[in-house]
């Protein structure tokens, strides 16, 4: 029984992302990995489904339901729906209303005070004893096993679903950081707009994401591919299937890819001269789902002139890093942004 009491009272680390939500429970690792999507009853606003089941409903719901993503660009866009989703997810992993846990939640590096309070208040209402916030680049670097407490600098670029956060880290702190609300979702939107303007075909959100995963790239590949996608013809209103190649998709997503590279270039321009040698030696580490885009490492390295590598399992780097904040809270507390404590 004592073990059960420890389990339900264990602290939680939450990677609350635009695309996915991951929860790490103290001493156990990642216990939940679900899409950040909810399905609601259109009349009452009550939660019908969350996570994978709700994502399957995107673009398919009847008039009595609506499927929504409560976070946009890495921040809470609908506090009430976010609270419902968090409550559902924390109930799934087991949370005690008596032995309330501490929660550590990551946020974009340039989040506003209002956006930060929205996250804190949602976590407190679902049962947190106290809430601590940590900047995404910091935990991404920790999760990528970078020596963030060294005197030598490390550079991490976290490309999520809604935002890209880049930072130069040394001595456990952020030396310089840049953030932009352009990331994986912007690539999907670019594909949707390209197909709409060039082929007069309307694609759904999920279809655009599938095209990106299947044939998207940031740099010419040794072997190019193509994929077939179905959408609605804007002229006839009827379903139509088209074939998209790697080169065509690469041209479609080039503007947001350039924005991400320009963000990193602007960060490196702010690097203190004393740390420039460290950056040239260690290079840039990519984390987040965007790090999986084929050719991105090669293109960044070509345009920036520094080594660029993707972290091992970049999708979970932030979750691993924020998880370490609860597994070794005392050692990592200096990197946390103060939140509510009760």
Residues annotated in a binding site for ATP:
161-163, 209-212, 289-292
At a CB cut-off of 8 Å and minimum separation 6, what does 207 contact? 229, 230, 231
Q: Give, in degrees to the nearest 5, the angle at Cα 113 between 22 and 268.
A: 75
* Separation CA 147–CA 196 (nearest Å): 45
Adjacency order of strands within the sheet including 102-107: 29-35, 20-25, 12-16, 102-107, 130-135
Sequence ranges of the binding site: 161-163, 209-212, 289-292
Please state at what angle helix 205-215 crosses helix 246-269, rounded to 10 degrees. Answer: 90
- Please give the sequence-ordered ranges of beta strands (E in DSSP) within 124-255, or none if there are none: 130-135, 154-159, 164-170, 173-180, 201-202, 226-233, 239-245
Give which of 119, 194, 120, 188 is closest to 160, Cα–Cα: 188
């Amino acid at each position: 029984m004592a073990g059960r009491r420890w389990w339900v009272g264990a602290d939680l680390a939450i990677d609350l992302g635009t695309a996915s939500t991951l929860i790490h429970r103290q001493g156990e690792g990642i216990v939940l990995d679900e899409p950040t999507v909810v399905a609601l009853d259109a009349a009452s606003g009550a939660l019908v489904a969350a996570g994978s089941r709700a994502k399957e409903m995107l673009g398919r719901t009847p008039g009595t339901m609506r499927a929504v993503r409560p976070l946009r660009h890495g921040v809470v866009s609908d506090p009430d729906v976010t609270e419902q989703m968090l409550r559902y997810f924390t109930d799934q992993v087991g949370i005690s209303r008596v032995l309330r846990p501490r929660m550590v939640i990551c946020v974009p590096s340039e989040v506003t005070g209002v956006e930060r309070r929205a996250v804190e208040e949602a976590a407190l209402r679902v049962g947190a004893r106290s809430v601590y916030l940590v900047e995404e680049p910091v935990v991404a670097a920790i999760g990528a096993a970078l020596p963030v407490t060294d005197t030598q600098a490390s550079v991490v670029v976290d490309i999520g679903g809604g935002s890209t956060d880049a930072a130069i880290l040394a001595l456990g702190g952020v030396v310089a950081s840049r953030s932009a609300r352009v990331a994986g979702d912007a690539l999907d939107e670019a594909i949707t707009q390209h197909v709409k303007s060039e082929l007069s075909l309307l694609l759904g959100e999920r279809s655009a994401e599938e095209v990106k995963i299947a044939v998207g790239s940031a740099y010419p590949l040794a072997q190019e591919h193509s994929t077939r996608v179905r959408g609605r013809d804007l002229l006839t209103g009827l379903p139509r299937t088209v074939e998209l190649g790697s080169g065509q998709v690469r041209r479609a997503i080039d503007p947001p890819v350039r924005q991400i590279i320009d963000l990193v270039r602007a960060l490196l321009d702010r690097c203190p001269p004393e740390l420039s040698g460290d950056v040239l030696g260690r290079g840039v580490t990519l984390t987040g789902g965007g790090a999986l885009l084929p050719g991105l490492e090669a293109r960044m390295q070509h345009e920036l002139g520094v080594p660029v590598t993707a972290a091992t399992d970049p999708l979970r780097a932030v979750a691993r890093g924020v998880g370490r904040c609860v597994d070794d809270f005392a050692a990592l507390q200096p990197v946390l942004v103060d939140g509510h404590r009760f």
